[in-house]
Structure 1
Amino acid sequence: MSTPRDFRCHLRLRVRWSEIDQQRIVFNAHYLTYADCAMTEYWRALGLPYEATMHALGGDVYLKKASVEYHASALLDDIIDVGMRCVRIGASSMVFECGIFRTDVPLVSVELVYVFADPATQTKKDVPSALRAVIESFEAGSEMAELRVGSWQELGAAATPLRTAVFVQEQGVAPEVEMDALDRLAVHAVAFNRLGAAVATGRLLPAQDGEARIGRMAVSRTLRGQRWGRLLLEALVRAAQERGDASVLLHAQCHAEGFYQRAGFVAEGDVFDEAGMAHIAMRKMLR
């Protein structure tokens, strides 16, 4: 029987009232929902936005078989740990094991068999070698994103679609405000997933009076919470340190204040409006 330590991908959930049956335990079918949620988390952990990835690979993944073994019951308000891992990849199939635990107590084991197939005909196709390589690398403990730091000329083509999706389409920032002349003066960082797609980006502006400024921090909506933003921020702060800047300033959207606080930034002054959203100035001293 597996343990939580056997899984690299974890999803933690709290059991809700709506999931309890007349026996005051989680209704059996909900465990498959937990497993499905963990499968979504698995794609996120791979750094692969599901819809865009399947379109690029020319196929889709369909569930063929689900097997469930019950060991113990989850109760209302339990915090459960749902682990997901790929245990085998065949010619067209992928077998996943899901373990559902309360702390270290095994509650349910689930085996999921998926088939890679043509979405138009739903006939099976070989699992693409690129997808196979990503999954095998993840299960071997490899990093799922490659970070590149460079100029706008080098990274602008990759950063632009992501920034447009996050700032213009998602947050409603005007395109002429989002893209400005400062891009060509800035140092840029872009994180790429294992299929070469940009999943996160940010920029570092030239220092003024010894203080640099970080901005345009954007992470693909479906991949947030996977450390890509933290990797970018660390890279940009490191670039400022290497060129001798004394401090770094940024204007954080208020909902992200905690993220920057955990990276050592300190909020200053009052909340203000920028591009129609509430922001607060935050600074980190470098020396």
Structure 2
Amino acid sequence: MRRHEFRCLHRLRVRWSEVDLQGIVFNAHYLTYFDVGVTEYWRRLGLPYVEAMARLGGEPVVRKATLEYAAPARLDDELEVGLRCERIGRTSWTMTGALFRGERALVTAEIVYVFVDLGAHVAQPVPAVLRELFERFEAGDDVLRLETGPWSRLQALAAPLRRAVFVEEQGIPEHEEWDEADADALHAVAVNALGQAVGTGRLLRTDEPGVGKIGRMAVHRALRGAGVGARVLQALVQAARGRGDHTLRLSAQRTAVGFYARQGWRPIGEPHEEVGIPHQWMERRLTDA
């Protein structure tokens, strides 16, 4: 198997606790590596696993897992786990996997999942929406839908996600989250194949001509690091360009500064606090790129 044959690749490093007395990865840990890869595969599909399975009315369970070892992995190796959906049957699907060190496949895997109604303990047909999502992802198609528009149209999608991230997860008081600016802002929402909002943000005008402000960026906690935030940010940047803005600013939580820097933003000014959370002002000149 070749690395480029996998759209889903997840990087990991071999830890001390995973090697045996021979100094190589103990055989059972390879199954864990592939399980981590499968978890990442769900993220690449844009599905928060627990909520998605509740909507789908079932859950995949492993029926068979086969590993074939070609070469050992060792302490501190940087590895990549590749997964792809190979076949879809009526009630099951087969994942093909490979564990790479560089371009070399050390271990290959075949894992068969059955979609099961856990309450009745019986197999049931793979939902059509999930079958289609597997096919779209493996074909290289987009798995998210980006919607932009006014609060009046997107509030039902964006508000529950913002409440989950800012109020429930980060502990920001409810009255601090909602303001009159929502009604005047352009909102962007990333929606997955099940109709779940998994990312959101808003674009405001400022008192300075040609200067816009992005805010309320939120991504479902299960999908962070999967590119959802970048997609939302890109949609807002494109909207700002379309209306003629030359500069964008935002107040980033300090833990997110690296994310924005990778998207072409630079820090400006001094760090500050908002709602008890450290923030940093950042800016992006739209005329630079």
Q: TM-score, normalised by structure 2?
A: 0.97
What residue in structure 2 maps to residue 275 of structure 1? Answer: 275
The amino acid across from 2:251 in the alignment is: H
User: Does structure 1 residue 111 correspond to structure 2 residue 102?
Assistant: no
Please give the secondary structure, in 1, of the residue aligned with 2:206. Answer: strand
Q: Give the aligned partner of residue 121 of structure 2.
A: 122
Q: Report the counterpart of residue 246 of structure 2 in structure 1.
A: 246
CA RMSD of superposed structures (Å): 1.0
Please identify runs of 4+ aligned residues in structure 1 that moved more than 6 A.
none
Map 1:256-275 → 2, pairs under 5 A: 256-275=256-275
* Number of aligned residues: 286
Q: What is the CA–CA distance in structure 2 between the aligned matches of 1:234 and 1:112, rounded to whole Å?
A: 36
1:186-216 deviations in Å (ceiling 9; x for gaps): 0000011122111100001123212211000
Bigger CA drift: 203-212 or 71-80? 203-212
Deviates more, 1:255-264 or 1:181-190: 255-264
Note the C-alpha offset of 1:285: 2.1
Partner in structure 1 of residue 100 of structure 2: 101
**Aligned mates of 2:133, 2:4 — CA distance in 1:** 21
SS, match of residue 22 in structure 2: coil
For 1:228-273, what per-residue CA distance to the aligned partner results, in whole angstroms no more than 9, with x for missing partners? 1111112112212221223111000011111112222221121111
1:213 aligns with 2:222: no
2:138 and 2:246 map into 1 onto residues whose CA distance is 40
Q: Deviations over 1:48-99 (max 9, x none)?
A: 0111111001111111111111110001100111100110110101110110
Unaligned runs of 5+ in 2: none
% same residue: 50
- The answer for the alignment partner of 1:165 in structure 2 is 164
For 1:102 and 1:258, locate their aligned partners in 2 and report how far apart those are by CA, in whole Å.
Answer: 27
What pairs with 1:147-186 in structure 2 (closer than 5 Å)?
147-186=146-185
Paired residues of 1:190 and 1:232 also in contact (CA < 8 A)? yes
Name the structure 1 match of 2:200: 201
Task: Report if aligned partners of 1:207, 1:245 keep a CA contact under 8 Å in 2.
Answer: no
Q: Partner residue of 1:138?
A: 137
Per-residue CA shift, 1:15-64, capped at 9, x if unaligned? 00000001111000000000000000000000001111110011111111
> Could you tell me which amino acid in structure 2 is paired with residue 164 of structure 1?
R
